[in-house]
Homo-oligomer: A and B are copies of this chain.
Amino acid sequence: MVMVCEKYGVCRTTMRTALQQLTMEGYVYRKRGSGTFVSANKVKQILTSTVEHFSRQIAMQGKKPSIKVLQLDVIPADEFLKEQLMIQEGEPVNMLERIRYVDDIPIQFETAYLPWCKTPALDKQGCEKSFYNILKTQSDLKINKTIETLEMYIADKDAAEKLNICIGEPCFVLDTIAYLGDGAIIEYSKTIYRGDLAHFVIERNY
């Protein structure tokens, strides 16, 4: 830091504040006893599951976000989906499979389930952007609360193919339940993140 300050004539406090901001935003990282490094690889992700946030966050890091829809189908709810979405068995459900890319590298493989009766207007093209936006504009549905659980996930064949990694590589799996204002569940999703590229930030105020 001293060298940079002298070289560019910047005061130390300014430089320290700037470095802290850059660290928080994932551009650089600090290593004990070794100084500050530029993060080339990791993709910072504020923990939140909306696509809108995803794209904005990635763009803010100067990277190019993109989403590919693999599948959008209506399926009948099985026992598991019935419990996750709190609907009847057999009720129609939108199943949406997507891959999210950063600079054309696949980093997230997501499978989302939404009760069809609340989301009949979902379409493939719209899901390449934010479907929360579609829900809001087309159906006036607004997410009120999410509960996310994060665990380790060892890549199986499917995840490995989707994320272009080897079977057995450690990944994160994030399960999300999203609630509307009236307490109804609007989405259950399961997202697998490449372990080597993910970097989650959780900010809390007490």
Contact = CB atoms under 8 A, between A and B. Distances in A.
Interface of A: 1, 16, 19-20, 24, 30-36, 42, 47-48, 78-81, 83-84, 86, 142-152, 154, 170, 172, 195-196, 198-206
Nearest to A113: B32
A154 B1 CA distance: 29
B86 A200 contact: no
Nearest to A172: B152
14 contacts: A19-B83, A30-B84, A33-B80, A35-B79, A47-B202, A147-B203, A147-B204, A148-B203, A148-B204, A149-B199, A151-B198, A152-B170, A152-B195, A170-B170
Q: Count this chain's copies in the assembly.
A: 2
Given A16-B83, A19-B83, A195-B170, A202 B32 contact: no
Q: Which of A30, A36, A143 has its CB near the most chain B CB atoms (within 10 A)?
A: A30
A47 B150 CA distance: 10
CB-based closest 8 A-B pairs: A170-B170, A32-B80, A152-B195, A150-B200, A148-B202, A145-B205, A146-B204, A147-B203
